[in-house]
Amino acid sequence: MSSTTADLLHDDHHDKPRGLKRWLFTTNHKDIGTLYLWFSLVMFFIGGTMALIIRTELFQPGLQLVDPQFFNSMTTMHALIMIFGAVMPAFVGLANWMIPMMIGAPDMALPRLNNWSFWILPFAFALLLSTLFMPGGAPAAGWTMYAPLVLQTGDAFPFLIFSIHLMGVSSVMGAINVIATILNMRAPGMTLMRMPLFVWTWLITAFLLIAVIPVLAGAVTMLLTDKYAGTAFFNPAGGGDPVLYQHIFWFFGHPEVYILILPAFGVMSQIIPTFARKPLFGYASMVYASCAIAFLSFIVWAHHMFTVGMPLSGELFFMLATMMIAVPTGVKVFNWVATMWRGSMTFETPMLFAVAFVILFTIGGFSGLMLAITPADFQYHDTYFVVAHFHYVLVPGAIFGIIAGVYYWLPKWTGRRYSEFWGKVHFWLSFVFLNVTFFPMHFVGLAGMPRRIPDYALQFAEFNMVSSIGAFGFGLAQLVFLGVVVHAVWFSKEKADAKVWEGAHGLEWTVPSPAPYHTFSTPPDPRLMTTEAHS
């Protein structure tokens, strides 16, 4: 890109507005990334508070704190907020901040769309959270919104549907922007196979988003018309079928779980080479493995619904296809371990989170393989074993990926170093309490404790008490994280240099810290691409 085009897209000389207007009208990828990340952090604490209400109720058997309807609202809202409000926006925030700097672009390709896709989110979640105060209560049919149960939702129902629509519009616009940026805005010399893996995994994630978010939008629209417009997509009395909803939902839902994890894979592939001081092992195989995972994610959806009654051939197909995902995922785990092998490893906070990610995500992957075995799944289905499984892939997977990325790039964003001591405190508290919370759930699940029920049989009491204690510990540990971030953004005195980490490679480390408001207004020297590629 010539510098004149850059000027055309971005006038460096104007004064940026101050105060609220700066954030409302900003088209700067760094500002928007920051907005996304703060928004995500707020949602993380709201969703976390809901999780703690759940764990408080489950601290002891019996019904003591909340009524069952509200308990189910909490499980539903916790999931919706964590998935759509915390994890997805955090990854879009990281993408906004880092993708242009990693590929040597001056900004995202469609800056105004970028502004819009962020500012839809506060409205979407205001709609969703407002349902807590509505007659009939907040949605309580589970985040999967299965018909016909979800149709019994009270006044909250249309608000639930429209908030899902808005979140979907925001994600799709974000995805379009990411793809348009990566395909069009790479600096000369930044070929596809030189792109950092975070950029690669986000490119794949963005295509997944475009493929499946509209399907979710269709599914919830069908729910809406079933309830209000007399259609009968999921109503057998009118010729429909509730099982059809599950098929459509999981056609979205399974790729969605890779949307939640692929960008974390990307972050890991940036961090591990930096602190192992070795280039990433098997770069090309990482790219192909990510593509394979994305492809397979489209043909495994029915493993979420083995118990609905499916022909044996269908069960076998979905079981085997699901197990096949372990192959490319195994390639990735192997590559991360091989990158660390005989590296000069140091364990700064991002690396601690990255190593924990590799270990704990793999545990979650293994329990996923157990769930993939159809005959065994009939016992595990809808038990706490499933809860343990997806929390092991989402908390030390997606959430640790985000947190590791934040620690890794925070000095680049703020120009100040965070407190390494408190970062490590945050890590160890999170690591210990995460396992205290979720590991016992495997046992109670295998013993038959069902999900989404506010009471349980007495034999599950001890493990549930342990889980609840762990949950509060994990929650408190995140306040340490908040403290570290606030300190690093506003109070830290320790300046960070451009490179920040001794072993870091990549274009983002060639710009000063904090990264100036506009970076790469003129493209970087193409020679950098070869020396800095494949960090």
Would you say 111 or 328 has its CB closer to another protein?
111
The tally of CA atoms less than 13 A away on the side-chain side of residue 452 is 16
What is the token pair recorded at 535?
Answer: 């960090």
Q: Which of 183, 327, 359, 457 binds another protein (CB under 8 A)?
A: 183
Annotate each residue in 104-143 with x if it binds another protein (CB under 8 A) or - if it does not, as one string: -----xx--x------------------------------
Smallest gap from Cβ 214 to another protein, in A, equals 4
Is residue 1 within the footprint of another protein (CB under 8 A)? yes
Residue 416 phi/psi, 5-degree rounding, is -125, 150
Residues facing residue 450 across a β-bridge: 383
Q: Is 23 a catalytic residue?
A: no
Is residue 181 within the footprint of another protein (CB under 8 A)? yes
In angstroms, rounded to a whole number, what is the distance separating the alpha carbons of residues 318 and 407? 38
Catalytic residue, chosen from 30, 186, 303, 391, is 303
Q: Is 78 a catalytic residue?
A: yes
Range 222-251, binding another protein (CB under 8 A): 222, 233, 235-238, 241, 243-244, 247-248, 251
Would you say 175 or 340 has its CB closer to another protein?
175
Q: Which of 52, 66, 132, 210 binds another protein (CB under 8 A)?
A: 210
Is residue 81 within the footprint of another protein (CB under 8 A)? no
Instruction: Calculate the CA 478 to chain-centre distance.
Output: 17
Q: Is 462 a catalytic residue?
A: no
Smallest gap from Cβ 115 to another protein, in A, equals 15
Would you say 137 or 255 has its CB closer to another protein?
255
| Sole window of 78-86, 213-221, 396-404, 511-519 interacting with another protein (rule: CB under 8 A) | 213-221
Is residue 149 within the footprint of another protein (CB under 8 A)? no
- Neighbour count for residue 399 (Cβ, 10 Å): 23
The helix (H) or strand (E) run that includes residue 319 is helix 312-324
Smallest gap from Cβ 520 to another protein, in A, equals 13
For residues 117 and 174, is the Cβ–Cβ distance under 8 A?
yes
Would you say 233 or 438 has its CB closer to another protein?
233
Region of 450 on the Ramachandran plot (φ > 0 left; ψ -120 to 50 alpha; else beta): beta
Q: Which of 37, 94, 185, 399 binds another protein (CB under 8 A)?
A: 185
Is residue 376 within the footprint of another protein (CB under 8 A)? no
Catalytic residue, chosen from 30, 186, 278, 332, is 332
| Sole window of 70-78, 181-189, 345-353, 454-462 interacting with another protein (rule: CB under 8 A) | 181-189
In angstroms, rounded to a whole number, what is the distance separating the alpha carbons of residues 259 and 252? 10
Q: Any residues with CB less than 8 A from the CB of 289 and at least 6 apart, and which?
A: 328, 329, 331, 332, 335
In angstroms, rounded to a whole number, what is the distance separating the alpha carbons of residues 85 and 77? 10
Q: Is 254 a catalytic residue?
A: yes
Is residue 179 within the footprint of another protein (CB under 8 A)? yes
Would you say 247 or 424 has its CB closer to another protein?
247
Q: Is 256 a catalytic residue?
A: yes
Q: Is 269 a catalytic residue?
A: yes
Residues facing residue 416 across a β-bridge: 495
Q: Which of 46, 180, 373, 489 binds another protein (CB under 8 A)?
A: 180
In angstroms, rounded to a whole number, what is the distance separating the alpha carbons of residues 147 and 245? 7
Catalytic residue, chosen from 247, 381, 424, 451, is 451
Residues facing residue 383 across a β-bridge: 450
Would you say 60 or 221 has its CB closer to another protein?
221
Q: Is 107 a catalytic residue?
A: yes
Is residue 144 within the footprint of another protein (CB under 8 A)? no
Q: Is 304 a catalytic residue?
A: yes
- Neighbour count for residue 121 (Cβ, 10 Å): 25
Q: Which of 86, 160, 212, 360 binds another protein (CB under 8 A)?
A: 212
Q: Is 307 a catalytic residue?
A: no
Q: Is 442 a catalytic residue?
A: no
For residues 59 and 464, is the Cβ–Cβ distance under 8 A?
yes
DSSP-assigned letters across all residues of 189-251:
T--GGGS-HHHHHHHHHHHHHHHHHHHHHHHHHHHHHHHHS---SS-GGGT--HHHHHHHHHH
Report the alpha-carbon angle 269-275-280, nearest 5.
35
Q: Is 527 a catalytic residue?
A: no
Sign of the CA dihedral with 424 first, then 425, 427, and 432 last: positive
# residues near another protein by CB under 8 A: 42
For residues 97 and 413, is the Cβ–Cβ distance under 8 A?
yes
Angstrom distances, CA of residue 232 to CA of 158, 165, 225, 251, 308: 17, 20, 8, 20, 20
Q: Is 170 a catalytic residue?
A: yes
Which of 398, 389, 387 lies closest to 370, judged by CA? 389
Q: Which of 311, 342, 490, 531 binds another protein (CB under 8 A)?
A: 311
List residues with catalytic annotation. 78, 107, 143, 170-171, 254, 256, 258, 269, 303-304, 329, 332, 451
Per CB under 8 A, residues contacting another protein are: 1, 5, 8-9, 109-110, 113, 148, 172, 175-177, 179-181, 183-185, 210-219, 222, 233, 235-238, 241, 243-244, 247-248, 251, 310-311
